[in-house]
């Protein structure tokens, strides 16, 4: 989630603009599916005094911090410890079935990046954890130390788009035989050695892709997103809007595909009229993916990789 220290939400003005037509209606409900430190939600609640927020996050520390931040909005705020593919259960638990707004700000939050003990950053030596919910599941160290070589290669190639996956995994397997991986500094040193010097000069930090791949694997991010998008769109009321901010190409591709599929007519080609129940369910609100401008990136460097997509629900789902 794109935020900086305390706490600059990415593309906030654009998000306020996209949601303005729908969140001012009486009884409007917004789900912030990736609450983080609550910057976007705080601004949206302030802009729409009758808005109700359902905020989800898998990280208990994020929920604690955002609860403080959002306390001024009183009983309009409902926070739920959940991963965003659990959105239908979260809504059912609150007696809700449809919502007017859905916001996803994907990826790792600044709070997670900035806390050394969470192990997300390759810039500082820390335990190799990388769990967004530190109360459950395997750590990045567990993945490095126990996965078969072929599975590690697949993860680095698929989730990190790492060209040198084979070389890196060969080095990892040799290193873990003498001593299990525990801290990020040792992994970063190995990656500097395994990635060819020419690529280090032109391809960014040699640890970036491997750390991304490990984080996605540890948190099941792509599988969760693949399940979450259809469930979220099913919960969106007619006239409601969804806004998604992605920070890497794999996420953005999944979002693009999910929105595009529901923005198409399902009437067979060649028929002169739209079949009932077969029209588009969504209208795309962005032309492709929108990016941050230079001014925003200068003020908030974590906005540099954002890709924003948005859509409005215009039709009922086919029964």
Residue 98, domain CATH: 3.40.50.150
Q: Is residue 159 part of a domain?
A: yes
Cα 104 to Cα 244: distance, rounded to the nearest angstrom: 5
Q: What is residue 124's predicted lDDT score, i.e. its pLDDT?
A: 83
Asked if pLDDT for residue 118 goes beyond 70, the answer is no
Residues placed in the known binding site: 38-40, 57, 84, 105, 112
Residues 95 and 242 in one domain: yes
Q: Are residues 277 and 243 in the same domain?
A: yes
Query: How confident is the model over 215-224, as pLDDT tens digits?
Result: 999 999 999 9
The pLDDT score that the predictor gives to residue 158 is 95
Summarize pLDDT for 24-65 with one digit per residue, the tens: 999 999 999 999 999 999 999 999 999 999 999 999 989 999
Among candidate residues 150, 185, 219, the one where a domain is terminated: 219
Residue 68 located in a structural domain: yes
Q: What is the pLDDT of residue 166?
A: 96
- Domain final residue pick, 193, 219, 245: 219
Q: Which domain holds residue 193?
A: 121-219
The answer to whether residue 319 is domain-embedded is no
Binding positions for S-adenosyl-L-methionine: 38-40, 57, 84, 105, 112
Q: Could you report the per-residue pLDDT of 227-285, keeping only the tens digit for each? A: 999 999 999 999 999 999 999 999 999 999 999 999 987 767 766 766 766 679 999 99
């Amino acid at each position: 989630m794109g935020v900086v220290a305390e706490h600059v939400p990415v593309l906030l003005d654009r998000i306020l603009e996209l949601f303005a037509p729908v969140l001012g209606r009486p009884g409007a409900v917004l789900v912030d599916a990736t609450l983080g430190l609550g910057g976007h939600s705080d601004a949206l609640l302030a802009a729409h005094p009758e808005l109700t927020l359902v905020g989800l996050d898998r990280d208990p520390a994020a929920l604690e911090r955002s609860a403080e931040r959002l306390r001024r909005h009183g009983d309009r705020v409902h926070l739920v410890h959940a991963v965003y593919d659990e959105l239908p259960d979260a809504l059912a638990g609150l007696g809700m079935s449809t919502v007017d707004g859905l916001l996803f700000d994907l990826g790792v939050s600044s709070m997670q990046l900035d806390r050394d003990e969470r192990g997300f950053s390759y810039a500082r030596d820390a335990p190799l954890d990388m769990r967004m919910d530190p109360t459950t599941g395997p750590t990045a160290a567990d993945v490095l130390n126990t996965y078969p070589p072929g599975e590690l290669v697949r993860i680095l190639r698929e989730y990190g788009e790492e060209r040198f996956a084979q070389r890196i995994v060969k080095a990892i397997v040799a290193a873990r035989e003498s001593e299990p991986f525990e801290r990020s500094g040792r992994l970063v040193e190995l990656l500097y050695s395994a990635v060819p010097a020419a690529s280090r000069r032109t391809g960014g930090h040699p640890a970036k892709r491997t750390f991304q791949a490990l984080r996605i694997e540890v948190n099941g991010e792509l599988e969760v997103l693949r399940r979450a998008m259809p469930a979220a769109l099913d919960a969106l009321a007619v006239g409601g809007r969804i806004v998604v901010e992605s920070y890497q190409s794999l996420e953005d591709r999944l979002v693009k595909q999910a929105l595009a599929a529901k923005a198409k007519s399902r009437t067979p080609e060649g028929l002169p009229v739209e079949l009932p129940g077969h029209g588009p369910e969504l209208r795309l609100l962005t032309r492709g993916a929108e990016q941050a401008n230079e001014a925003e990136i200068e003020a908030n460097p974590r906005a540099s990789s954002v890709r924003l997509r948005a859509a409005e629900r215009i039709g009922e789902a086919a029964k």
